[in-house]
A and B are shown apart, each in its own frame.
Chain A
Amino acid sequence: MSNSTNIKRLPLRKERGPFLYFILPAALIVGVVLVFPIIYGFGLSFFNWPQVDDGTRAFINFGNYLELFKDNEFWHSLSLQLGFIFIAIPIELIIGFFVAILFNHDFPLSGFLRTLLLLPVFILPILSGLTWKLMLQPRYGAITYLLGLFGMEFPQGILSDQSLAYIAVIIQDIWRMWPFMFMILYAGITSLPKDIMEAAEIDGAGFIKKTFAITLPMLRGTITTAILLRTIDALRIFSEVFVMTGGGPGNGTMLFSLYIHKQAFEFGKLGYASAMAVILIVISLFFAFGLVRKNMDIDTM
C-alpha cells in the first residue's frame, strides 16, 4: 500500500503518442489564438504608437522603457501595486485557510454555506467596487455609519483621503477574494488522504500540531497554486478599483493596471502602455518562479 505523500518521483514514460494526445489540444488553442496577439503586444512596446495615427508612429527601440524608468508615476503605481499584493494576498490566504479547516467538519448546511461564501467571488467586479464605494459614502454609506457607531468619524469620506482610500481598496479585495483561497484550500484539504489524518488523531496530536505539522506540509502544492493564481490576477486588478476610486484621490490608488489603462485609453499611448504590460509580465514571472521553484515539482526532471 503506497503512501501518496512519498510519491514524488514517477517512472519515466517515454511514449510520445499519448503525451501529445494530452498536451496538444490545449497547446494548439492557446498557441494559435494568442501567438499573434502576444508577439504584437510585445513588439508594440518598442514603438511610439498613438492610438489614432497622427503621423508619429515609429520604431523607437527601448525608448518607452527608458521613459518609464524616468516616470515617477510609473514607480508610484508599481509601489502601490506591490504593497497591495504583499498585504492583501497573505491575509486572504490566512483567512481562507482557517475557514477551510473550519468547514472541514460535518455540520448542517455546510454545502449551502460554502456556496454562499463564494458569492463575493461570483459578483461582477464592478458591482463589488461600486457597492463598496456606496458603503463608504460620507453621508449615507453603511460602513461610514457603522464606523461612526465606534466613534470613527469621516466627514469628508474615507475615499477622499489617499491613504484611507488605499486601505479601502485593499479591504475590498480581501473581502472579495478570501473565499477564492478558501475554495481551493478546501478542495485541497478534502482531497487529503483521510488515513493519515485519522492516524494523527489516534496518536493524540492536538489541533495546532495537526495543522502545522501535517496538514500544512501536505497542502504545500495547493497553497502555492492558490497564491500563484491569486497573484497573477491581483497584479492585474482593474475594474473594482477603477469604479471605486478611479485611481484617486489624486493618484492615491493608481494601481498598475489603472495606470496602464490611463496611458492606453485616456492618452492613447499604446506603445508606452505595452511596455508597461511587458514589465508586468516580467514581475509576474518573477513571482511565479519564486513560488513554484520551492514548492511544486515542475522544476524537477
Chain B
Amino acid sequence: MRKLLLVLLVVLFATMMFSETIKVLAWDDAHSQSWNTLKNDFEKATGIKVDLELIPSGSMLQKTALNVTENRANYDLVAIDEGNVAKFGDLLLPYSQWPEGNVFPKVGTNDIPAAIFAAAEWGGQLVGIPNNGNMYIWMTREDLINNEEYQAEFFDQFGYELQVPQTLDQLMNMCVFFEPKGIYGFAPFTATSEGATCEAVMFFESFGTSVLEMVDGKYQVSLDREKALQAIMFYKELMDYSPQGALSMGHGERIGAFSDGLVFSMFQWPGIVPSHENVDESMVAGQIVYTAPPAGPFARTAVRGCWIFGIPRASTKQAAAAEFAYWVNNYEVGLKLAEEGMTPVRTDLLNELSGEKPWYTGMAEAGQFAVSRPNRSVHYPELSEVIKTNWLGAVTERMTAEEAVDNIIEDLNELLESYE
C-alpha cells in the first residue's frame, strides 16, 4: 500500500513538474473554436495545458501588439494575419529554430505547399507556420451549368461547352449569357477595406503586372500602366453584370447575393464557404462547384490571405507552444478538427476530406496559383490604402482609370521615398 502511494506521489510530482500551461491568442471563429473543442486531447497526449483566448479578429492586431514585445510576451503562441507578419517578424522565433515536436512531428513544406508557407516569410526566412489555408477560391453554380437548356443555348451562342469558367474571357461570356435570364455573372468586392486590395492584386496579376516588387529587400513600384488599365477596364465591364449595390459590396452583401441565388459565379474565402453550404443560411447549398479562380490573359492567380502561428522570442515556453502548433497542423488530429469546423491547410487533408467538403478541391487547386499581396513591409497598411483607394475610385467611377493608375504609381513612389 505504501509503495503504491509512493508511486502515485512520484507520478503526481512528475506530471506537475512537466505540466505546463501555454497561453495562445487567436481570432474567434469556427476554425479556431475547433481547437478549443478538442484541446483536451492535446493536454492528454502531451501534458501541456492550453489557455486559448479567442477574441474578435478585428482586435487581434491591437492586442497582439500590446502583449508581444522584444522583452515580454504574455502569450506563447499568437495567430498573426499575414499582412501583419512584417510588424512582428523580428519578434518571432524563426521556424528553423522551432524544436522538433515530442509528440507531434514538426510540419514541413511537403505537408504544406511552399506558396502557402510563404505567408510566414520575413527577412528571408520563415518566422512561423500557416494555420489556415486561406486563398481565393472560385464558386460556380453547378445547377446552372448542368442545366441542359442553358447548355444547348450557350453552345449555339458561343461555340463551346458551358462549364466552370477557366479564363476571365469565359467568365465574361457567361456573364453576357446569363444576364437576360436575370442572373448576375459576378459579385465584386467594393467595400473600403483590405478585400478591395485583394481584388486589385488579383486582377493586376492576372493581367501580368505586380504593383510592388521586392528588390534587394525593399519594395519598388513595378506597376505596368498599360496592363493595369486593361485590368481595371475589364473589372469595370464585369461590374456591369453585378447585382444591385455593386458599388459598395462587402462580405455581407456578397454572401447574401450568392446565397440568395442571384449570382452564378464569384470568388470566396474558404472560411466563408460553410455559410453557403448551410441550408439555414443559403438557398444554393449543395449546388456549388469550387475551383481555382479563372485565369487572366497572363496568369491564373489566387490571392492568399493566411494567418500564421508565431512564437514570440520572449516566450519562455517555446517548445510547448511549438507542440501545439504542430498538433493543429497534424494529419490525424486534422481529421477530427475539420469535423469541428477547422479549415485545413495540409494538402493531404484537403484531398482526403474533399468528398464531404467539396470546396477543399478548390483550395487544393487554388493553392498552386497562390499570389501574395505586397505585405512584407511594416508600412503595408499605408501602401494598401493607396492601392485600395484608387482601385475603388476607378471601378466605382469616382475617378478615371488613368487617374487611378497614375495616382497609385505616384503615391506609392512618394511613400516609399519617405520611408528612406
Contact = CB atoms under 8 A, between A and B. Distances in A.
Interface of A: 50-54, 133, 137-140, 155-157, 159-160, 246-250, 265-268
B256 A140 contact: yes
25 contacts: A52-B87, A52-B88, A53-B70, A137-B253, A138-B245, A139-B243, A139-B256, A139-B257, A139-B260, A140-B256, A155-B244, A157-B244, A157-B245, A157-B248, A160-B245, A246-B192, A246-B193, A248-B192, A249-B192, A249-B396, A250-B389, A250-B392, A267-B382, A268-B87, A268-B378
Interface in B237-282: 243-248, 252-253, 256-257, 260
Contacts of B243: 139
Most buried by B among A52, A155, A249, A250: A52
Nearest to B393: A250
Chain B contact-residue range equals 20 to 34
Contacts, number: 67
Contacts of A250: 192, 389, 392-393, 398
B108 interface: no
Interface of B: 61-62, 65, 69-70, 87-88, 91, 191-193, 243-248, 252-253, 256-257, 260, 378, 381-382, 385, 389, 392-393, 396, 398
A297 to B, nearest CB: 42
Contacts of B396: 160, 249
Given A52-B65, A267-B381, A156 B253 contact: no
Contacts of A248: 191-192, 248
A52 B193 CA distance: 22
Contact of A156 (B62, B91, B246, B392): B246
A140 to B, nearest CB: 7
A156 B65 contact: no
A137 B245 contact: yes
A98 B396 CA distance: 43
Contacts of B382: 267
Nearest to A133: B252
A159 B248 contact: yes
Given A51-B65, A249-B192, A156 B247 contact: yes
Contacts of A266: 381, 385
Contacts of B252: 133
B378 A265 contact: no
B247 A52 contact: no
B244 A156 contact: yes
The 10 A-B pairs of least Cβ separation, nearest first, read: A160-B248, A248-B192, A138-B245, A52-B87, A157-B245, A160-B247, A138-B244, A266-B381, A156-B247, A51-B65
